[in-house]
Each structure stands twice: as C-alpha cells, then as structure tokens.
Structure 1
Amino acid sequence: MQIESEFISVGANTYIDPTAKIRGINGKAKRIIIGDNCFIGANVQIICDDFELGDYSKLQNNMTVHGYKPCKIGHNAWIGQFTVIDSIGGMTIGDNCGIGAHSQLWSHIKYGDTLEGCRFLSESPMKIGNDVWFVGHCIVSPIEAKDKSMALVGSVITKDMEENCIYAGSPAKNISDKIGNQFIPVSVEKKVATMREYLKTWGGDINAVQIITDWEEAELENLEVSYFNVADRKYTKRLSEPEISFMKFLLPEKAKFTPYTF
C-alpha cells in the first residue's frame, strides 16, 4: 500500500491492498479521507489531490480515480473492476451508489487542437445523487444523475437522469414508461417486518441491534445497542462487532443505512 498525502485519515477495519496507490496529481495529495470498513482492491489507483470515501464502500480491483478537483464518494458505494472515475471537472457521488465493472464517468472533454479550431474543450462537475446505479459498461458524460436513477448495462449517458427513472441505449433514453422505475414504494410497517426477519436469519447478537421507526424510541446514551431507523435509513454508528457484522450481512442488496448524526 502506498499513500502519499499531506493529510491522511483511514477508518477502522478498512482494507487497502498492498498494490494500491493513492497520491496527488503531482506528488502528495492534499487530503485523503477513507471511512470505516472499506475495501480497496488490488492495483486500484487514486490519483487525486482531494479524495473522500464513505464507510462500507468497496473499490474493486484495477479501478482508477484521477483528477485535480475534489472527488467525494459517499457511504456504501460499490465500484466495479476496471471502472474509471474522472474528477478533472469535479466529482460527487452520493450514498448507496453502484457503478458496475468497466464503467467510465467523465467530467471533462479535452484533447483536440483548439488553435486549429477544435470546439470541444470543457470541464464540468458531475453530480451523482443517492441510490444511483450504473449497471455496468456505462459511459457517462458530465451530467447530474438524480436520486434513485438507474442506467442499464452498456448505456451511454449524455443528458441528466431524472429521479427514480431508468435509462438505456446509446445515447441513453428514459424507458421508465416501458419497464417501470428502479424503486417502488414500501411501507414503514413492511420495512420493519423485513428487518426483523433479517435479524432472525443474521445469526448474531440480536440484543445488540434494535429496529426503530422514530428516534424518540432510541436510548441514544446506551452505547451497547445499535439502532437502525427504517424511516430515514440511518443508524447509530457504534463500531461494535455485532453492528459491523449486521451491516455486512445487509450489504449490498438487503438494506443500506448511513450514520445518524446526533
């Protein structure tokens, strides 16, 4: 593992493969923050002056992040092998996002000879909301992907993606009217019932985890219990062994929670 940065923060229980390289564009980065319980795989390269990765995020083997503007990736991200994330124009990826293998997210267009009259030279920040999913082999221009939007495999995205809509094709078009949305409404009552079933099948210490629907139900001063609120998808981050075990049991497809701010 090679990390070169003026400021480095790596969270608890995070694994960074010895072959990974993390540095700035020209030598040391200014700021590298990696959360708790993350995984950074073999030959991952993060070449960015200001990089942040949230808790329980996974950067799979041989993927690359590069750019001289900040790149921030939220909690519970899953980014597949050989993916390219370009932060030359700036990159923000929200919580609970999936980026399938061999995808490319570009925040700049730059190469042609502008003296000779090339018209294509731009840098624009890309903003990816929460719960966005690029299924795989997607190529994304500097757009805004709103919360819960989704692009099917092989999509070439050149325009903004609307909330909870599904896109496909080259160039990608909204096909939600044909196949529906990525997410359907689920009642709080059903979420509670499902989470209680997960607790039964998890096999861990069920006394250390409680499912709630309102923070008034929680005894926040009780550090022996981790509370999971299905109403706002937040949990009390204790970093206890049962909590970490339960979070890993839930991820990536059962349920995703992010830390509650007291």
Structure 2
Amino acid sequence: MAYIEKHIQIVDVQWGENVKVVQPVNLYGCKIGDDTFIGPFVEIQKEVVIGKRCKIQSHSFICELVSIGDDCVVAHGVMFINDLFQDGKPAQGDKTKWKRTNIGNHVYIGSNATILPVSICDNVVIGAGSVVTKDITESGVYAGNPARKIRNLA
C-alpha cells in the first residue's frame, strides 16, 4: 500500500519580533505579529494574519482566510472554519466557495469554540464550547450554540 508522508513543519512564515513557538506546530504561509505566543499542536494555514501580543493555545486550527487582531487569545482546541459546505459537500479546494473570518482586537475565544466565517468586533469574549455562526457587531460576552450575547463586559 502506497502513502504520502508529510511532516509537521514551519514554512514561509513572516515573523514579528519576540514570537514564541512551542513545537510541534504546523505553520505555513502566515504572518505572526510581535510578542505573540503559539502553543503546541497548532496549525495555522497560509494567508492567515495574527496580530501583536496574541496567544494561540494548543490544539487550535486556524484555516486560510482568517485575520486576528491585536491582544487576542485563542484558547485550547479552537477551530476556525472557512468552508460552509454550501453545495451540501466540501468545496474540495475550490477557494471561491470559502468565506473570510475577521477577528477584532481584544477578542478572547474560549476553549473548544468553533468560529464559522464571521466578523467579530473589538472587545468580545466567546465562551468555551460556543459556536459563532453570525457576525458580532457589539462588544460583550457571547456563549452557546449558536452563540448569543449573554451580558455586557464589565
């Protein structure tokens, strides 16, 4: 039986100053801002932009077409999605069917949250395990499936 072997690697990354990375990770074609921390078992795909002073914790997946602002936290096991299976099946690499996600500044995403292609404004907290299916245009704390605003920030 034949197979193709691939290795975890870091390729073609634009680094800011003082970035810390804990191996193993799979980072390729992305841009990582100053003073950002990337934990182990993280995959960040090409054309992703991560701002300054962010924390991307272990086992998180950040797919193409995601932009994350400054001073953000992506907790353990967060998944970003860019393919909504709009034809009832995966886009199978057809990037014209993929959608973009934009995360503002000072956004904190709790463990095991799933972020569909949305825009999230500045100063937002997403509760652990939440599924964000729609744009968030007002700061506050959001939780649930689908995520909804549960309170204002203090």
2:121/2:138 contact within 8 Å kept: yes
Q: Aligned-pair distance for 1:162?
A: 2.5
Who is 1:140 aligned against?
Answer: 115
| Alignment partners' CA distance in 1, 2:15 and 2:28 | 14
More helix by share: 1
1:151/1:168 contact within 8 Å kept: yes
Who is 1:21 aligned against?
Answer: 9
| Alignment partners' CA distance in 2, 1:160 and 1:173 | 10
SS of the equivalent of 2:45 reads strand
How large is the Cα RMSD of the aligned pairs?
2.0
Q: Would you say 1:52 and 2:27 are equivalent positions?
A: no
**Which of 79, 86, 104 is 2:56 aligned to?**
79
Q: Aligned-pair distance for 1:120?
A: 6.8
**Larger radius of gyration between Structure 1 and Structure 2:** 1
Q: Aligned-pair distance for 1:91?
A: 1.4
Unaligned runs of 5+ in 1: 1-18, 24-28, 185-262
Q: Please give the TM-score of this superposition, normalised by the length of structure 2.
A: 0.84
Q: Aligned-pair distance for 1:35?
A: 0.9
Q: Aligned-pair distance for 1:119?
A: 6.8
| Alignment partners' CA distance in 2, 1:166 and 1:151 | 6
Answer 1 or 2: higher relative contact order, Cα 8 Å, separation at least 6.
2
2:83/2:90 contact within 8 Å kept: no
Where does 1:210-229 land on structure 2 (aligned, <5 Å)? none
1:35/1:54 contact within 8 Å kept: yes
Q: Please give the TM-score of this superposition, normalised by the length of structure 1.
A: 0.51
1:138/1:153 contact within 8 Å kept: yes
Number of residues paired by the alignment? 143
Q: What percent of counterpart residues are identical?
A: 23
Q: Aligned-pair distance for 1:66?
A: 2.0
1:146/1:161 contact within 8 Å kept: yes
| Alignment partners' CA distance in 2, 1:40 and 1:103 | 17
Q: Aligned-pair distance for 1:108?
A: 2.0
| Alignment partners' CA distance in 2, 1:159 and 1:146 | 12
Who is 1:39 aligned against?
Answer: 20
